């Protein structure tokens, strides 16, 4: 399971002070004790009043094309999720809070690893 530590949540909170929906997503992640697999479907359900019809991996696949653009991947790799959330939500057609949790998930997985970059292709 992919988990977010309380320290990481605090770091993300300082980045996302201008986005109430992103802060609400962080509250939900905390409520789920940092477990992103639990937080993503809960966020989606709260934001849309619909049952989530996909698992975490399916959500990540839906976002892969956007996330794996070089500038997005580099931002996530360095822990900058704030500038990614709104464009990700728009690109993938998902709610902002869900996009927040997915951005954090890719950060935790390692954006380069997520995008299947081979170590020798990054110089």
The model's pLDDT over 62-110, given as tens digits with 9 standing for 90+, comes to 999 999 999 999 999 999 999 999 999 999 999 999 999 999 999 999 9
pLDDT single digits (tens) 44-53? 999 999 988 8
Is 67 within the bounds of a domain? yes
CB proximity list for 10: less than 8 A, separation 6 or greater: none
Domain total of the chain: 1
Q: If we measure between CA atoms, which residue out of 65, 73, 42 comes closest to residue 55?
A: 42
pLDDT over 90 at 1, yes or no: no
Q: Which residue has the tokens 């690109």?
A: 91
Question: Which residues does residue 35 pair with via DSSP β-bridges, in sequence order?
Answer: 3
For residue 43 the two structure tokens come to 């966020």
pLDDT over 70 at 59, yes or no: yes
| pTM of the shown model | 0.90
Q: What is the pLDDT of residue 47?
A: 95
Is 47 within the bounds of a domain? yes
Where in the sequence is the domain holding 88, given as residue range(s)? 6-121
For residue 96 the two structure tokens come to 């902002």
Structural element, H or E, at residue 73? helix 70-77
Q: Pick left, alpha or beta for residue 24 (phi over 0 → left; psi -120 to 50 → alpha; otherwise beta).
A: alpha
Is 1 within the bounds of a domain? no
Instruction: State the Cα–Cα distance between residues 62 and 122, nearest whole angstrom.
Output: 24
Is 113 within the bounds of a domain? yes
């Amino acid at each position: 399971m992919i988990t977010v530590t309380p320290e990481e949540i605090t770091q993300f909170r300082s980045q996302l002070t201008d986005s109430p929906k992103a802060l609400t997503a962080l509250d939900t992640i905390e409520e789920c004790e940092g477990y992103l697999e639990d937080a993503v479907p809960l966020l989606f359900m709260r934001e849309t009043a619909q049952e989530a019809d996909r698992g975490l991996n399916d959500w990540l696949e839906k976002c892969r094309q956007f996330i794996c653009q070089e500038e997005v991947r580099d931002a996530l790799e360095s822990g900058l999720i704030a500038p990614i959330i709104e464009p990700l939500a728009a690109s993938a057609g998902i709610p902002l809070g869900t996009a927040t949790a997915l951005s954090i998930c890719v950060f935790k997985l390692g954006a380069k690893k997520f995008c299947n970059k081979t170590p020798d292709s990054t110089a």
